[in-house]
Amino acid sequence: MEINILPKNESFKISDDCFNVDYKKTLVHQVITSYFSNGRDNLSSQKNRSDVRGGGKKPWRQKGTGRARAGTTRGPIWRGGGVTFASGKRNYSEKINKKMFKVAMRSIMSELIRLKRVIAIDKINLKEIKTKEVNKILNKYNLDSVLIVTNSIDEKLFLSARNIKNVGIATVDYLDPPLMLSFKNILIVKDALEGFEKRFGG
């Protein structure tokens, strides 16, 4: 499989095993769901009758008072007692192994390439921190919502693009499914294509 590298429109060979695989919708959904579940905090905190302090002493004797028998003042029907079905700590995390994650990443990238939502360029070389220079690149390829992917951290690029609306910056090492699907297009540098295959290839 080949992809055109702009601006010279040169053909660059990429692996079919990494960039031309079937879109696995169910797996992608599972990986994205687990991604958000693993970042979910459970802040709910209620106490059941065993968690409430006190109530060790029987409030009155078993018989002869005319009142219903009671063994504790910390039952759910008492003021200050525990909650009947208390919501406690719950683990929302879902395990996704590395192989499944890599397959999902290859699947997403392949589908975005098929949909012509991936633009590959030779390099981005900013001589100084200038938002105007990044805007020139985006306007040249008619990009209004784009994730720029590089193989390594480029501080000048990051500082130049951070204030532009609907533009994200990421290195290959920090890519994840939700991030890749959060923008209309992906603008990826040539060496980042090689880095993607090295990291997520089979």
pTM to 2 decimals? 0.77
Residue 125 · residue 134 · CB < 8 Å: no
Q: Which CATH code is given to the segment(s) 2-23+95-200?
A: 3.40.1370.10
Condensed to tens digits (0 to 9), the pLDDT of residues 100-132 reads 999 999 999 999 999 999 999 999 989 899 999
Where in the chain do CATH 3.40.1370.10 domains reside?
Answer: 2-23+95-200
Condensed to tens digits (0 to 9), the pLDDT of residues 144-163 reads 999 999 999 899 999 999 99
Q: Is the pLDDT confidence value at 48 over 80?
A: yes
Report which secondary-structure segment, H or E, holds 10: strand 10-13
Token pair in block for residue 135: 């805007």
User: In the predicted model, what is the mean pLDDT of residues 46-66?
Assistant: 90
The H-assigned helical ranges of the chain are: 16-19, 25-38, 98-114, 131-140, 155-161, 177-180, 190-200
**Confidence band (pLDDT; 50, 70, 90) for 96?**
confident
Calculate the average pLDDT of the chain: 91
